[in-house]
Amino acid sequence: MTIQGGCLQQASALFAPAMYPLIHKTLPNGTSVSYAWFEAMHSRMDILICGIDEWNAGRLAFLLSQETERLADLMNRFDPGSLLSQINTAPPGTPVSISRELATILSTCREWYRRTQGLFDITIQSPASESSLMDAWEITPEDTVIRHHPGIVLDLCGFAKGYAVDSCKSVLLREGVRDALVNFGNSSVLAIGNHPHGKGWPVGLGVDEAQIEGEYKELTLHNQCLTTSGNNTTGRQHLIRPDSRQVVTGKKHVSVVTETGTVGEILSTAFFIAEKEEKEYLADQPECISMEEHA
């Protein structure tokens, strides 16, 4: 893969963007638009940035890829060298020192376990118990984690992409970007500012089959995130209810609009496995701007 444009190729020694594709155009209304993408967290991140030059677009694509890669390493429980893996393999009662960032992440997950009435549970992959183990580990004021049960597995797969989207937003705003669209795997979409030809960003809601059948819906995001959780086939069964330990079956999706990707990831997961009364409770959370179920 190569970058379009000689100025970016000359700058590769500074931030090595040559591994990423980049398309840069100037629209008839004079707005510059840059598009880039890269692979991260077993998904694809597509980025559309308005109002910056080609060189800085390439630099930003690289910064976003580096930040996303850093977070993937931080929250990967399958990497033996990660802090999360060290927590999961430490003997019960042994404190594991972690970074302030990871401590904040785990504290956020604990808070939303309570706020979703146990539906968002990062111990759901623990094989040792038929019930939640969220109360069997603790974070100390010294930023250490202690497990009190040998079978606890902390898993952040249902959190990482939303958090990464928020981190990318922080990078873009810090760099002065005011209009951008970030699509992380078609399940976490961030809209900053406005589309070059109007207010907000029009984003499709639904899957390819719905579009083919004429049921495709669209909504406009303005400084918001759209997050989707679900099963894209009848055979995919990857989300589990913590209380019953049963996988949720059926081909369906739940999408939520929130101000942050982190909360969107949490709420979409909780909505997908929730029963009717639980959905009503989740919809009343102040962070939930809207929710919709679709095939």
Q: Is the pLDDT of residue 81 over 60?
A: yes
Cα–Cα distance between 164 and 42 in angstroms, integer?
A: 13
Q: What percent of the chain has pLDDT over 70?
A: 84
* pTM metric for this prediction: 0.88
SS3 131: coil
In sequence order, the 6+-apart residues with CB closer than 8 A to the CB of 72 are 40, 41, 160, 164
Q: pLDDT tens-digit profile of 220-240? A: 999 999 999 876 656 566 678
In the chain, % of residues over pLDDT 90: 73
Q: Would the pLDDT of 214 be above 60? A: no
Question: Quick check: 286 and 260 in contact, CB under 8 A?
Answer: no
Contact 123, 112 (CB under 8 A): no
How far, in Å, are 157, 164, 166, 288 from residue 258 at the CA level? 19, 15, 11, 5
pLDDT at 3 over 80: no
- Which residue did the predictor score with more confidence, 170 or 238? 170
What's the whole-number average pLDDT of the chain?
87
User: What is the pLDDT, as a whole number, of residue 252?
Assistant: 80
- With bands split at pLDDT 50, 70 and 90, how would you rate the model's confidence at 1? very low
- Please state the domain extents for the chain: 1-34+46-65+164-196, 83-147, 200-295
pLDDT value of position 72? 94
Average pLDDT over residues 242-268: 88
DSSP E strands in 104-187: the ranges are: 137-139, 144-147, 180-184
The predicted-structure confidence for 4-36, as pLDDT tens digits, reads as follows 333 333 333 334 444 567 999 999 999 999 999
Torsions phi, psi for 36 (to 5 deg): -150, 165
pLDDT for the residue numbered 241? 83
Query: For residue 218, what pLDDT is reported?
Result: 86
